[in-house]
Structure 1
Amino acid sequence: MADVNRGNRPLSPHLSIYRLPLTAKLSILHRITGVGMVLAAVLIVWWFVAAVYSPEYFAAADWLLTSWLGTLVMVGSLWALWYHFCNGIRHLFWDAGRGFDLTKTQRNNWIVIGGSVVLTIITLIAA
């Protein structure tokens, strides 16, 4: 006999209670930072084009990129660059077949996050 309640059963795992592991969240963040770096590159190219085009246009572009919002975007882009770099190195280790144990994966998640923050701070201090 057909199960009468078959259509009423929840999905497994139910999306309202399922929690993505940190590795999955970092994978999504890796893709987002890739897109963010492209957008930051477009802003930087726009700044260079404005410098070539006219002094007035450059002043407007420079004002925007050196404002608090522009500084926030550029610092965020710098962090995205370092995060993408650190996570890419982790992927190279995975390609070599290393770091697949659960404990090593969890440790490496935090190394990628911490490393990207530390490298961003070092870059900001050095600049």
Structure 2
Amino acid sequence: MADAEGDPRTKAAIKAARPLSPHLEIYRPEVNMVMSIIHRITGVALYAGTLLVAAVLMAAASGPEAYATATWLLGTWPGLFVLFGYTWALLHHLAGGVRHFIWDTGHGYDLATIDLLSWGTLAVSLAGTLAIWGYIVLTRGGAV
């Protein structure tokens, strides 16, 4: 008599009875999934932004001409766009970290709270970015 575990027909029947793993055609993007992906993307963007901060600090240490060049470059529209994006990435990653910290304490696992925290991450990061850049524009008399 053959062992049930050694019988290949039994293994095939078990494997065929398992559900297939769903993929992107089946999943509907949920806000917490999107925020998780954006959290990872902003983490990578912060690496590039940190290199930018280091470059500005190196320019400042190199002398007034190098620093003037670096600040001029960051003062152009593409440079301001990069700084705006860096500000948003920093705040979004921070808010996402707070969201994960709340989950690490064992709270906020019901679906309504998960959605609220996920949308809150986006709202806080956008509002904070606009507040920071609004302050910059207002204190400089409308010129960035």
Same fold (TM over 0.5): yes
Q: How has the CA–CA distance of structure 1 residues 14 and 29 changed in structure 2, closer, same or farther, with 3 Å as cutoff?
A: closer
Q: How many residues were matched structurally?
A: 121
Q: Alignment partner of 2:124: what SS? A: helix
Structure 2 letter corresponding to 1:110? W
Aligned mate of 1:16, from 25, 28, 34: 25
Q: TM-score, normalised by structure 2?
A: 0.73
Aligned mate of 2:94, from 70, 85, 101: 85
Q: How has the CA–CA distance of structure 1 residues 47 and 12 changed in structure 2, closer, same or farther, with 3 Å as cutoff?
A: same
Partner of 2:3: none
Unaligned runs of 5+ in 2: 1-8, 137-144
Aligned mate of 2:53, from 24, 38, 44: 44
Partner of 2:66: 57
- Does residue 104 of structure 2 align to residue 103 of structure 1? no
Q: TM-score, normalised by structure 1?
A: 0.81
Partner of 2:131: 122
- Does residue 65 of structure 2 align to residue 27 of structure 1? no
Cα RMSD between the aligned structures?
Answer: 2.1
Unaligned runs of 5+ in 1: none
Q: How has the CA–CA distance of structure 1 residues 14 and 27 changed in structure 2, closer, same or farther, with 3 Å as cutoff?
A: closer
Aligned mate of 1:94, from 68, 90, 103: 103
Cα-to-partner distance string for 1:80-112 (whole Å, 9 max, x where unaligned): 111111111111110111110011111111111
Q: CA deviation at 1:19?
A: 2.8
Larger radius of gyration: 2
